[in-house]
Amino acid sequence: MLQYILRRALLMIPTLIVTSLVAYIIIELPPGDFATSYVANLAAQGDMASQETARVIREQYGLDQPATVRYLKWMQGILTQGNFGIAFELRQPVSSFIWERVWLTLALSLGSILITWALAFPIGIYSAVKQYSIGDYFFTFLGFIGIAVPGFLLALVLMYVQFKYLGQTSGGLFSSEFLTAPWSWDKVLDLLQHIWLPVIILAVGGTAELIRIMRANLLDELRKPYVITARAKGLPEWRVLLKYPVRLALNPFVSTIGWTLPFLVSGSIILSVVMNLPTTGPMLLRALQVQDMYLAGALILILSVLTIIGTLLSDILLAWLDPRIRYQ
């Protein structure tokens, strides 16, 4: 097991390097740089900004050095001091203000995974055991809708319903009095009161997929002779189910964290823009619009790295659950 974990962790290193390269390429891609867009912005507001200003900004932020040098400097800063560069628009180090948003994104994604499991697990079992019942058809239908309706559309519709019939506009993760307050128990409780809606919206798509997988897997297992044996020796039905076939059918739950996580992070970004949640989504969008490239690159890098670590954890968990995988 230890050997497996080590091997798997070593394999992660090249992936991380490539990820950082991809994030850096994204930083470098837009034509022009922050200096040009800053000058253009000033000009649009009627301010006269000269090439001189652009040159000064470039020098100040080291934008005049070759790309490879800047990449290495960027990486060095991240690895040695946790310094992700300067956010040009706010004129502050990126690392000084993004972490709260990153944690909220993570909380949103992890919350959705938990909800996904809590819903998909019983519904999947029910659908498989009562195959072709009305309930099964109902959940299958819901599942297809869940796959076809992306989270942000669902959010739009729900926000409209909420506005029309409850007369309230939702949005944000905190009540106004907690917006800038330091973290406290009350603030956490307030967060919990707001976060459930986006969490559920995010979870719908994944739940639909997982119900289908769970149902298919369990259906395969239920027809195997060992189930009949267990039943024949007089075990109560729930025990027959939970002790053997469900345990085997559980594997997809763990192995899907690998693709659920990128999917959820992606979904949470658009959802946050729609529902105006203070996660990384709106910040990334804004950063990309004004070419605040170190901020955008840092966000993309952090999200990707967290996803890759999540995938690693799910692989280890899977190997622990299913010994066959360890010895491949």
Partner 1 sequence: MNTEKETPVYVAPQWKLVWWKFRKHKLALVSGIVILLIYLVALFVEILAPFLPDQTNSKYLYAPPQSLHFVDEQGNWGLYVYGYTSKIDPVALRRTFEIDSSVKIPVGLLVEGVPYKLFNLIPGNRHLLAPLDPDQPMYLLGADRLGRDVLSRLIVGTRVSMSIGLVGVLLSLVLGILLGGLSGYYGGNIDNLIQRVIEFLRSIPSIPLWMGLSAALPLDWDPLRVYFAITVILSLIGWTGLARVVRGRFLSLREEDFVMAARLDGASEMRIILGHMLPAFTSHIIAAITLAIPGMILSETALSFLGLGLREPVVSWGVLLQNAQDIRSIATAPWLLIPALAVVVSVLALNFLGDGLRDAADPYAR
Q: Please report, as ranges, the residues that interact with partner 1 according to CB under 8 A.
A: 15, 18-19, 22-23, 26, 29-31, 144-145, 147-150, 152-153, 156-157, 159-160, 163-164, 169, 171, 258-259, 261-263, 265-267, 269-270, 273-274, 284-285, 288-289, 291, 296-297, 299-300, 303-304, 307-308, 311
Written as six digits, the tokens of 274 are 């729609």
Nearer to partner 1, 213 or 230 (CB): 213
When the beta carbons of 144 and 238 are compared against partner 1, the nearer one is 144
DSSP 162-206: IIIII-----SSS-GGGSSSPP-HHHHHHHHHHHHHHHHHHHHHH
Q: Please, what is the minimum distance in Å from the beta carbon of residue 262 to partner 1?
A: 4
Q: Kindly write down the DSSP assignment for every residue of 271-295, as one continuous string.
A: HHHHHT-SSHHHHHHHHHHTT-HHH
Instruction: For partner 1, give the closer residue by CB, 36 or 83.
Output: 36
Q: Closest approach of Cβ 194 to partner 1, in Å?
A: 15
Distance from C-alpha of 208 to C-alpha of 230, rounded to nearest angstrom: 30
Q: Give me the least distance between CB of 236 and partner 1, in Å please.
A: 34
Angstrom distances, CA of residue 215 to CA of 42, 120, 249, 277, 322: 58, 9, 9, 34, 19
Task: State which residue, 15 or 95, has the beta carbon closest to partner 1.
Answer: 15
Tell me the closest approach of the beta carbon of residue 29 to partner 1, in angstroms.
4
CB atoms within 10 A of CB 39: 20
Q: How far apart are CA 143 and CA 260, in angstroms?
A: 16
Query: 30's torsion region: left (phi>0), alpha (psi -120 to 50) or beta?
Result: beta
The nearest distance, CB 48 to partner 1, in angstroms, is 22
Look up residue 305 and give its two tokens: 């790295």
- The strand pair at 92-93 and 86-87 is best described as antiparallel
Q: CB-wise, 217 or 291, nearer to partner 1?
A: 291
CB of 197 to partner 1, least distance (A): 13
Give CA torsion, residues 274, 276, 277, 279, to 10 deg.
Answer: 80
Minimum CB separation of residue 235 from partner 1 in Å reads 31
Q: Residue 97 pairs with which residues in a beta bridge?
A: none
* Residue 60, H or E segment: helix 51-61
In the bound complex, what is the minimum distance in angstroms from residue 244's beta carbon to partner 1? Answer: 26
Would you say the C-alpha torsion 258, 105, 100, 196 has a positive or negative sign?
negative
- List the one residue out of 197, 204, 199 whose CA is nearest residue 148: 204
Nearer to partner 1, 5 or 16 (CB): 16
- Choose between 33 and 190: whose C-beta lies nearer to partner 1: 33
Q: Find the shortest distance in angstroms from Cβ 180 to partner 1.
A: 23
Nearer Cβ to partner 1, position 240 or 316? 316
Q: Which is nearer to partner 1, 308 or 321 (CB)?
A: 308
